[in-house]
Amino acid sequence: MRPPTRSTWFLLAIIILVFCASPLTAAKPLPRVGEVTIDLKGVGAIMGISWGHGVLWFKGKKYPFHVEGLSLGDLGFAKISARGKVYNLKKPLDISGTYGALGAGVALAGGAAGLTMQNERGVVIDLSATQQGVKLNLGPQGLTIRMN
């Protein structure tokens, strides 16, 4: 595994800032406006790095995007498939940005986990993920989404 680059450290700093600045709960429930699917591969030893792609479904149209992720305390390798609901999205480009976890991941039955994230534009994604492989995470998580 190659050493972390300057941009990786910058991404980590953004994730921590978003994570620390995000409220743990929304003031009122937001209406669901779209859905996403995300496929990631990840590897980690102390600091984990994930990469992959996804699709946003918004107002009957499909918008592909790239995903990069970073987390602390990762160990192992995993393939992750996630589906989620999107809230507070006004236009497709708003999906782009750096997402910090609004709360700790929740383990669900059958190797699945749930995670709610928010970006700097206020877009919230509520994900349910399943993973293959072994990857243990002990710290904050985040993703950066870039439209294709």
Q: Per the domain annotation, does 107 fall within a domain?
A: yes
In a domain, 87, yes or no: yes
Handedness of CA 85, 90, 95, 100 (dihedral sign): negative
- Let me know if residue 105 belongs to a domain: yes
Task: Give the per-residue pLDDT at 39.
Answer: 87
Radius of gyration of the chain (CA): 14
What is the total count of domains within the chain? 1
Domain assignment of residue 108, given as a range: 6-147
Instruction: Report the pLDDT value the prediction gives residue 57, as an integer from 0 to 100.
Output: 97
Looking at residue 111, what is its pLDDT? 55
pTM of the model: 0.69
Q: How confident is the model at residue 68 (pLDDT cuts 50, 70, 90)?
A: confident
Mean confidence (pLDDT) of the chain? 74
Distance between CA 36 and CA 15 in Å, rounded? Answer: 20
Between 42 and 110, whose confidence is greater? Answer: 42
- 31, 145, 141: which is closest to 94 by C-alpha? 145
- Encoding tokens for residue 9? 């450290």
pLDDT tens, position by position, 70-85: 665 555 677 778 899 9
Is the residue at 132 inside a domain?
yes
Per-residue confidence (pLDDT) for residue 143, from 0 to 100? 81
The reply to whether 103 falls in a domain is yes
Roughly how many angstroms between the first and final C-alpha of the chain, as a whole number?
A: 26
57 within some domain: yes
pLDDT digits (tens, 9 = 90+) for 9-55: 555 445 554 444 444 444 445 788 999 999 888 776 656 678 899 99
Whether residue 1 is contained in a domain is answered as no
Q: How far apart are CA 97 and CA 33, in angstroms?
A: 17
